[in-house]
Amino acid sequence: MKFLRNIGRAMADAWRLTKPYFKSEEKFVAWGLLAAIIALNLVSVYLNVLYSYWYKIFYNALQAKDEPAFWGSIFTYRFIKGYPWFVPGFAEIAVFNILVGVYAFYLQQMLEIRWRRWITDNFVKDWLTGRAHYQISLMAEAGSPLDNPDQRIADDLRSFVSNNLSLGISFIANIVNLLSFIFVLWFLVPPLHIFGAVIPGYLVWTAIVYSLIGTYLTHVIGWKLIPLSFQQQQVDADFRFNLIRVRENTEQIALYGGEAEETIGLKQRFHAIYLNWWMIMKRTKALNFFTIGFSQVAIIFPILIAAPGYFTGLFTLGLLLQINNIFGNVQGSFSWFVGAYPQIVGWRATVQRLDGFERAVVAAHVQQNAAPGGEPGTMLRADDLAIDLPDGRKLFAQSHLAIARGEPMAITGASGSGKSTLFRMFAGIWPFGKGRVSRPVGRSMFLPQRPYFPLGSLKRAVAYPCQEYDVADQDVRAALEDVGLGSLAARLEQVDNWTLRLSGGEQQRLALARALIVKPDWLFMDEALSAIDEAAIGDLFALLRARLPETQIISIAHQDSVISLHARRARLTRGADGAMELITDAEKLVGE
């Protein structure tokens, strides 16, 4: 019962993931390809049935030493007496089999890549819209982690689509194969007379019992592979993620001389792969003993069952071998589950991981919507605002806060006091807390201390988050010149890992160039000048103000040289209840 319930749940999950594509704008192509693939597979079943009749003709010709019949069976069509259909020779069946086999697979691959493209686009979109990717990362800290979303999008989707198709199609083909051969076997073999009873289709019953026992035992031995396979995908992804971290932080690691530590860390990660793999190996060994043994017995089993009929003269050699072939097909189809078990195990684990991803994305959107919000206004304003940490601890408590347009404002406070988190709240990405935050109308831009650069050309790095094709080359060059990176202006097309290539100060200058291009109404800088040499800070700030006269600047800053550039100040300090509060320089605050 539990087994059937599990199968039902797996099918429901898989269907939920499958359905959208077959109802999408690509549905006609999808259904067309699927229908063609299934049709070709059915033709293949039909060719198999033809083969079984061909066997009989062929072996009877051999037994009768009938040379013309022998050659005829290889090259020409043969009409079988008593049957309403004809049997082509071996050559014709083989040619059709080749064509059907090649095109069934070709079309299956075509459907696979189209489906994968569609579902990957959708997963990427779901992950990136509504800041779900960020909320998912916060969920891990709030206690419901989703491991390696990248692997789920890249690897799990690939194997889901491919396993779904190959398992689904082979399942359908097997059912049709089974029904066709049961039909043939039932009528081909005379009923068994035993102890005065007559058992029609006794070989069919034998095949059913044999295969059901096989299926049941396979599941008993193999079901533990499902969680192990799930676990394997996770530890593999963890290991790869750690390798990527090393690649991305190669310079820091080299400077720290952290290679030995990294080696141990990677070894430990790999150890998790190793241990889990051992468990998979042991289970697979037990399963293989059974499935390989089962298939070995299946080679001889039908001959053993039918041989008495041959020896008593009831069957010709041709019929005996036909029965063997047909029984093999019936039993093979019944035992589909046995052979496909390892693939089903992988498929189930993949479906679980993708289902987990989808649920996490839904939860992430709910969490994002929980971020305090309010009607946009002319100023940045918060009422009854409280900010918590993901684990529920209180970080910031303030009933009221209003920042109007005016002179640049600097926000200061001790390390870890919550300045960046306050900015996250202003940006609307921090869901932990309550109150109303009314963000100013117009475009806001946030510059973090460590800028992010997408992989690609320098122009893409500067234009980000705008599309590089939406920004004119001369604007990018002018912005680079303005922020003192004129030497880069001639290299816009150069592709590099700019996070590794540029110095910390250059990276921050490049981020300022972005602000010059975007011209936001509100510019939030979170220690965005911290890596720039003291002598240049004043000039760069003056440049920002000159080029962006309409932009309201709010900076988080520690350095006096930066703070002094701001006419308005606010300070995060600990209030009476232990949570932080923002104390503003009231005289200079242009209030409500």
Ligand X SMILES: Nc1ncnc2c1ncn2[C@@H]1O[C@H](COP(=O)(O)OP(=O)(O)OP(=O)(O)O)[C@@H](O)[C@H]1O
Closer to ligand X by CB, 47 or 139: give it.
Answer: 139
- β-partners of residue 570 are 411, 584
Say if residue 252 is exposed, middle or buried (CB neighbours under 10 Å; 0-12, 13-18, 19+).
Answer: exposed
- Integer-rounded Cα Rg, in Å, for the chain is 35
User: Total residues contacting ligand X (rule CB under 6 A)?
Assistant: 13
Tokens of 105: 């697979």
- Say how far apart CA 361 and CA 359 lie, in whole Å: 5
Asked if 419 interacts with ligand X (CB under 6 A), we say yes
Q: Is 131 in the site for ligand X (CB under 6 A)?
A: no
Please give the Cα distance from 148 to 145 (Å, whole number). 9
Closest separation between CB of residue 3 and ligand X, Å?
A: 42
Q: Which stretch binds ligand X (CB under 6 A): 2-10, 16-24, 261-269, 411-419?
A: 411-419
Half-sphere exposure of 262 (CA within 13 A, CB side): 17
473 near ligand X (CB under 6 A): no
Stretch that binds ligand X, among 28-36, 122-130, 303-311, 417-425 (CB under 6 A): 417-425
Q: Residue 421, interface with ligand X (CB under 6 A)?
A: yes
Q: Between 332 and 433, whose beta carbon lies closer to ligand X? A: 433
* CB 128, min distance to ligand X, A: 19
Rounded least distance, CB 446 to ligand X, Å: 13
Pinpoint the alpha helices (H) of 389-491. Answer: 419-427, 458-463, 473-482
In the complex, what is the shortest distance from the CB of residue 226 to ligand X, in angstroms, rounded to a whole number? Answer: 33
Q: Which of 88, 332, 413, 431 binds ligand X (CB under 6 A)?
A: 413
Smallest separation, CB 578 to ligand X (Å): 13
The residue assigned the tokens 């831009």 is 445
Q: Does residue 418 touch ligand X according to CB under 6 A? A: yes
The residue (of 45 and 386) whose beta carbon lies closer to ligand X is 386
Does residue 141 bind ligand X (CB under 6 A)? yes
Q: Which of 162, 182, 152, 585 is closest to 409 using CA atoms? A: 585
Centroid of chain to Cα 31: 23
C-beta of 430 vs 522, nearer to ligand X: 430
Binding residues for ligand X restricted to 369-398, rule: CB under 6 A:
389-390, 395
Please, what is the minimum distance in Å from the beta carbon of residue 407 to ligand X? 22
Vertex 556 angle, CA 555 and 561, to 5°: 80
Site string for ligand X, 210-249 (x = CB under 6 A): ----------------------------------------
**Is residue 420 near ligand X by the rule CB under 6 A?**
yes
Can you tell me the distance from the alpha carbon of 581 to that of 395, in angstroms, rounded to the nearest whole number? 9
Distance CA 65, CA 515 (A): 91
Tokens of 412: 């200061």
* Closest alpha carbon to 409 in 379, 432, 448: 379
473-482 vs 504-518: helix axis angle to the nearest 10?
130
Query: CA 341: distance to chain centroid?
Result: 22
The answer to whether 416 contacts ligand X (rule: CB under 6 A) is yes
Q: Judged by CB under 6 A, which of 82, 312, 415, 587 binds ligand X? A: 415
Tell me how far, at minimum, the Cβ of 287 lies from ligand X, in Å: 43
Which residue, 37 or 395, has its beta carbon nearer to ligand X?
A: 395
Q: Which residues contact ligand X (rule: CB under 6 A)?
A: 138, 141, 389-390, 395, 413, 415-421
